[in-house]
Amino acid sequence: MNAKTTAPLTAATSAAPASWRRAVVNHPSWFPVVASALLLILLFAGAQVKFGSFVTPGVLSSLFVDNAYLIILACGMTLVIITGGIDLSVGAVMAFSGIIAANLLQNGVNPTLVIPLMLINGALFGLMIGVLVQYFNVQPFIASLAGMFLARGLAHVFAPRQIAVNNAAVLSLNNHKFRFGDWYFTGTVIIALVIVLITAWLLARTRLGRTVYAIGGSESSAKLMGLPVARTKVLVYVISGTCAGIAGLVFTAYASSGYSLHGVGTELDTIAAVVIGGTLLTGGSGYIFGSLLGVLVYGVIKTVINFAGADQAWTRISVGVLLLAFVVVQRAIVARASRR
């Protein structure tokens, strides 16, 4: 599904052991991605053994449908984290975009106008954070925290109560199921996968992507190499904000409402998924494909807890433990790399 980013790995794995070794040496940044892929397989296998009928087309399909918004957020977040930044605003911006959309749709505004407005809204929040980070030297944590409070607050001012969405076109994004036997997917899943492909292509095959990695490697070196550091840093936050706007649309369709308290804490779930997917929190290394795996790991854990009938608090605990484990692994990798 994501041939471009996986190309280096598949190219190497198809050949002899010698090239295997070279692949391992040449692509240490794929280790954590492989680790989360193995983890995902392990989770599936474990759940299948425990519950008997876990790995079914229905469960797998709903995994994508239920987490489409998170996949979109994770794509934008991956870019930001690779530059060494962080974007805490995405959950709130998603909710705010949803509120605007629900409000406008309720007043009969055409979705073809509402949807671009949501994206622009997200992009503007991203622009604000990016400018604060780049030109006012505000730490990404603080700048995006400010963005988060602003978006959450504005959402509440805009509409303190939940607004139901009745627009058929928007709702059909989530409700209309394209079925293939027992498999199905929805408009929201298509949107999420398109975003995955676009951001993966951006990272792997464009100068923007290379500059994103370069900034994460060493911002001062990237500057001395004459790369457009300032422009790129602002741009990743704009992309992340736009993703939050798109996620707002997807989430509105999913929840069939707009509400100022939608997606509280989503930014942290997103960061957790990205880190579990193998992106280094210190920047410089990571893949969109890994983040997709990270979201799926998160989703599977949630489903497993549901199946077991346990409290959803256990999802947080499991994700917390995984996050810790992955961060420790990352530290070990970084420590090994810097010893050389």
Partner 1 sequence: MDVAPIVEVLGAHLRFTGDVALDDVDFRMFPGEVHSLMGENGAGKSTLIKAMTGALRLDAGTMRLDGKVVSFSGPAAALHAGISTVYQEVDLLPNLSVAENIMLGREPRRFGHIDWALMRSEAVKALAVMGIDVDPRSPLSSHSLATQQLVAIARAISRDVRVLILDEPTSSLDQDEVSELFRIIRELKARGVAILFVSHFLEQVYEICDRITVLRNGKLIGEYKTTEMLRIDLVQKMLGSDSANLTVIEAREQSPAGPGGRKAVVAARGLGRRGATLPTDLDIFEGELLGVAGLLGSGRSELARLLSGVDISDTGVLTVHGRRRHFRQPRQALREGIAYSTESRKVEGIVAELSVRENITLALQADRGWIRRIPRARQDELSVSWIEALDIRPADAERRAGVLSGGNQQKVLLARLLALAPRVLILDEPTRGIDIGAKVEIQRLIGDLAANGMSVVFISAELEEVLRVGHRILVLRDREIVAVLDPDAVTFEMLLAIVAKADGDD
User: Using CB under 8 A as the criterion, which residues of the chain lie in contact with partner 1 when the complex forms?
Assistant: 8, 22, 25-29, 201, 205-207, 210-211, 213-214, 216-218, 220-228, 284-285, 337, 340
Q: Enumerate residues 6+ apart whose C-beta is below 8 A from 282.
A: 84, 216, 330, 334
Rounded least distance, CB 176 to partner 1, Å? 33
For partner 1, the closer CB: 112 or 137: 137
Distance of CA 242 to the CA centre of its chain: 12
For partner 1, the closer CB: 48 or 221: 221
163-164 and 257-258 beta bridge pairing: antiparallel
Per-residue burial over 23-39, b if 16 or more Cβ lie within 10 Å, else e, is beeeeebbebbebbbeb
For partner 1, the closer CB: 188 or 211: 211
Rounded least distance, CB 85 to partner 1, Å? 15
Q: Enumerate residues 6+ apart whose C-beta is below 8 A from 125.
A: 89, 93, 96, 147, 150, 151, 241, 244
Distance CA 136, CA 126 (A): 15
For partner 1, the closer CB: 103 or 218: 218
Contact 145, 21 (CB under 8 A): no
Distance CA 218, CA 63 (A): 37
For partner 1, the closer CB: 53 or 221: 221
For partner 1, the closer CB: 120 or 197: 197
Rounded least distance, CB 242 to partner 1, Å? 20
Rounded least distance, CB 7 to partner 1, Å? 9
Rounded least distance, CB 135 to partner 1, Å? 15
Rounded least distance, CB 235 to partner 1, Å? 16
No. of H helices and E strands in the chain? 16, 4
